[in-house]
Structures are given as C-alpha cells and as structure tokens.
Structure 1
Amino acid sequence: MILSAIAAKLKQRAKADFKGRHYEAALIVQAVSWYLRYPLSYRDIEELFLERGMDVDHSTLNRWVLAYAPLIEKRLRQFRKPHCGSVRIDETYIKVRGEWRYLYRAVDKHGNPVDFLLTANRDLDAAKRFFRKMLQDQPLLAPDRIGTDGAGTYPPAILAARNDGLLPRAPLHYVTKHLQQGIESDHFRVKKNMPRIGGFQSFRTARRTIQGFEAMLWLRKGFGFAGAWTIREQNRLLGVCFGLQAVNRA
C-alpha cells in the first residue's frame, strides 16, 4: 500500500516536471545525462539522436540541460552520505564570458563530495558564503578537520562559521599542499566536460550546468548502496528521481 502510494506520487511529479514538453520524459533525462556525464557537445548529442531516427535540435538540448540539471542536483543531493569528518576545500577557475570566475568545492579525505559554490569573486565574502552553504546542508556533519591551501580568506571564514553557530566546535585547520592533491585532481573530473573555447556565455548558464556536472559526479561515485554500481544502477536511480519506470532501457 505504501509503495503504491510512493509510486503514484513519483509518477504525478514526473507529469509536472515534463508538462508541455514535446518529447518523452525518459528521452529528456537520457539526453541531459549524456551531456553531463560525457565530453559531448550539444551537436554531438543531436547526431546521436538522428542515428536513432529522432530529430532533436541542439538548442532544444541546451534548454533541457538548463532546466533539468539543477533538478537532478537537487534530487540526488538527498542520497549523499555524511562525510568522514575530514574535509578538503579548494577553489578552481571557471571562464564565464571570457572572464575567470571561481568554483569553491569540498570533498572529504576519501573523495566523497561535500558541496560546491560558483562565485564571481575569490574573497572573504565568497568563502563565508561557501561555508554557510556547506554547513547548513543537512544531514551532512560539521567537519572536525578542514584542509585548505594557503589562501588568507579561509581562517577568518572558518572563524565566522564558528561564531555563527554553524560549527559546534573549533575544527583543526591545516594547510598542506600534499593533502590538497586529491581535491585538485577531483576538479578535473568536473571540468573535463565544460566548454573549452570561450567558456560559458553567462553566469546563470554556468551555475545551472555546473550543478548538473557536480550531481553526475556524485552519481558516478555512488552513495554507499550495496552491490555493484554500474551505469544501469545509476540510470535507474535517475529514473526514480523523476518518477520514471526506467531510463535507457536495453
């Protein structure tokens, strides 16, 4: 009875999510996941659909990604595990309309994702906003060890989070280049699919698309479920998030 009610609720949500679209929901989710998962352009995916006898314009694919990438991130967020308590924080450069912007990211020492935030500037205010976003997100635990690079904005940002009650106790803050290598290599996994020429054309486009890139990385890494975590299981979870029976059926 309870499972039937959950299934009915998911199906109803799927109808609302894809209302007014001219293509099936499963096709849209598949297209968006392709773009976020693999180094493919919109025109590449357009050709892939043409091979299957479906005419989907690249501009339509772009609209799908901007619409559904944030939804994927929002719904996968609930499956993440609390981190191990030792967090590494770093920022990487993202080009938007020819100018460098900054993507703050945090992973734990095992490489499990914690959070991220795209900002226009790299300063104390941006660092504070990132800590607020990371620490207010439940059910993730407040870290007791925080590793960063030598940027001077991190100590006062950690202190501000402590004063705001976001950190129940003062964490051990350490600065080490060696331990930061893990998150620096993790940056590549998110950035490898981003536009290589000119970057994103607007901050909104960058923010919404990066939400999808980060979410797809969470999906690839898994959420601690028992058993094998293949592409089939990943697509099945995406289908559950949108109330679909299956995504990418064989």
Structure 2
Amino acid sequence: MILSAIVEKLKRQSKDDFKGRQFEAWLIIQAVSWYLRYPLSYRDLKEMFLERGFEVDHSTINRWVLIYAPLMEKRLPRFRKPHCGSVRINETYVRIKGQWRYLYRAIDKHGNPVDFLLTAKRDLNAAKRFFRKMLKDAPLLSPDKIGTDGAGTFPPAIGDAVGSGLLAPDPVHYVTKHLQQGIESDHFRVKKNMPKVGGFRSFKSARKSIAGFEAMLWLKKGFDFTGQWSVREQNDLLAVLFGIEKVNEA
C-alpha cells in the first residue's frame, strides 16, 4: 500500500520531466544510468548510441546527466530503509577546475552509503554542515557510534550536532584505521567514474554528477530488497522514478 502510494506520487511528479525533449524518456534515462554506473565518457556513450541508430551529441548527454542525476538522488531515498545506529565518516579529494576540493561521505556499518557533501574547504564549518545535512532530514535513528579518521574538526562538529538536537547525547566517537578501510574503499566506487583528465569543469556540475554517482551506489545496494537484485531490476526502479514503462529497450 505504501509502495503503491510512492509510485503514484512519483508518476505525478515526473509528468513534466521530459517535456520538450527531442528523445524519448527511456533513452535519456538509459544514457544517464550508463554514465553513472560504468566508467564511460560522454563520447563513449555517443558512439554506443550511434551503433544503435541514435545520433546524440556528447554535450547533450552531459546536459541530461546534470538534469536527471540530481532527480535520481532526490527521489530514490523514498525507497531506502533507516540506517543502523553506527556510521563511519571520511573525506576524500575531488578535482574541480584544476583544484582539489573535498568530498565528505558517510556509510553505515553494513557499507550502505548514507550521505555526502562537496565542499571547497576542509574545516570545522564544513564538518558541521555535513553533520547537519546527514542528520536533519533522515536522522539515522540517531547514530550512537561514529567512526572518523581522527581529523580534529570532527569532535566539535559532533558536539555541535548534539547541541542542536540532531544527535542523541553522548554518542560514541571512535578513531580506528581498520574500520575506516571500508569507507575508503567506498570512495573508490563513487570516484571511479569521475573525469580522469582535469576533473570537473565547475563546482555545480561536480555536485550534480556526484549526486548521481551516490544515487547509483544506493541503487546497487538494493535498498534491502530480498532476493537477487539485478541490473534489470535496478533499471525497472529507475523507470518508476520517472514514470516511464522501461529503461532498457534498445
């Protein structure tokens, strides 16, 4: 009943998603999902679609990703279950316009991605913003254990979250290199498809693309759906998000 209500609401929300587009909705979402799922460039996708009889410019595919990847990130959480009460937080580097920027990320103890924040600086204000973003909308059942890499900004950021009521009092904060290996490996999964030469061209495009990479990780994890979770079933859920019949019809 709840799932049916979510599907109907998504159909209403998505009715204008592809208004005025030259190509069919399923082809657009196919291109976006391939870019987010596999290490392909926009020019690779252009050639792949040309083999199938579709002439799509690589710049058009880029625009599709920047439009529809953030929508995936926005809509997929409706299918996510609450995370467990233990999270691991770490930062990694992302190259934007030739400069290194910072990507804060969190996963739970089962390796499920929780949230992310792209920032220009790696400081206390950035750490506080990440905790607020991670906790304000879906409070993770108030995580009682928080693992970090030992950066000095995290203890005061945790204290700020407790003072704001986003965290329950006295969460356990631990620093352990062994347990952090899981999130460092997860960084690779979200970064492997990022531009290899020069990085992203702008902070805005980086934020939108990373939203899609993160959403694809959520999708691959399967949202605790029982049984085998195949790529075709992932595509079927993407179709639901955008109110279309099928994604892979080529």
- Shared topology, TM-score over 0.5? yes
How far apart are residue 247 of structure 1 and its match?
1.2
How far apart are residue 8 of structure 1 and its match?
6.4
1:44 is matched with which residue? 44
Tell me how far apart the structure 2 counterparts of residues 64 and 245 of structure 1 sit (CA, whole Å). 19
1:193 is matched with which residue? 193
8 A contact 2:49–2:55 mirrored in 1: yes
1:109 is matched with which residue? 109
Tell me how far apart the structure 2 counterparts of residues 11 and 80 of structure 1 sit (CA, whole Å). 18
How far apart are residue 166 of structure 1 and its match?
0.5
Structure 2: gaps (5+ residues): none
1:151 is matched with which residue? 151
2:67 is matched with which residue? 67
8 A contact 2:90–2:106 mirrored in 1: yes
Structure 1: gaps (5+ residues): none
2:210 is matched with which residue? 210
Tell me how far apart the structure 2 counterparts of residues 21 and 99 of structure 1 sit (CA, whole Å). 34
Range 135-144 or range 61-70, more displaced: 135-144
How far apart are residue 5 of structure 1 and its match?
8.5
Q: CA RMSD in A?
A: 1.9
How far apart are residue 81 of structure 1 and its match?
1.9
Q: Deviations over 1:117-157 (max 9, x none)?
A: 10110000000000000011226321000000110000000
Give the % identical residues: 74
2:138 is matched with which residue? 138
Q: Does 1:237 align with 2:245?
A: no
Q: Is the partner of 1:245 in helix, strand or coil?
A: coil
8 A contact 1:81–1:140 mirrored in 2: no
How far apart are residue 215 of structure 1 and its match?
0.3
1:11 and 1:144, CA in 2 relative to 1: closer, same or farther beyond 3 A? closer
Q: Is the partner of 1:16 in helix, strand or coil?
A: coil
Tell me how far apart the structure 2 counterparts of residues 122 and 40 of structure 1 sit (CA, whole Å). 30
Q: What is the one-letter code of the residue matched to 1:81?
A: K
Q: Deviations over 1:24-68 (max 9, x none)?
A: 111100000000000000000000000011100000000000010
8 A contact 1:146–1:172 mirrored in 2: yes
1:174 is matched with which residue? 174
Q: Deviations over 1:197-236 (max 9, x none)?
A: 1100100010000000000011011101122100011000
Q: Is the partner of 2:48 in helix, strand or coil?
A: helix
TM-score (norm 1): 0.95
1:146 and 1:92, CA in 2 relative to 1: closer, same or farther beyond 3 A? same
Tell me how far apart the structure 2 counterparts of residues 119 and 125 of structure 1 sit (CA, whole Å). 10
Q: What is the one-letter code of the residue matched to 2:47?
A: E
2:28 is matched with which residue? 28
Q: What is the one-letter code of the residue matched to 2:203?
A: F
Q: Does 1:98 align with 2:103?
A: no
Tell me how far apart the structure 2 counterparts of residues 221 and 121 of structure 1 sit (CA, whole Å). 30
1:17 is matched with which residue? 17
Tell me how far apart the structure 1 counterparts of residues 120 and 134 of structure 2 sit (CA, whole Å). 18
Tell me how far apart the structure 1 counterparts of residues 115 and 6 of structure 2 sit (CA, whole Å). 28
Tell me how far apart the structure 2 counterparts of residues 246 and 160 of structure 1 sit (CA, whole Å). 45
Tell me how far apart the structure 1 counterparts of residues 4 and 189 of structure 2 sit (CA, whole Å). 38
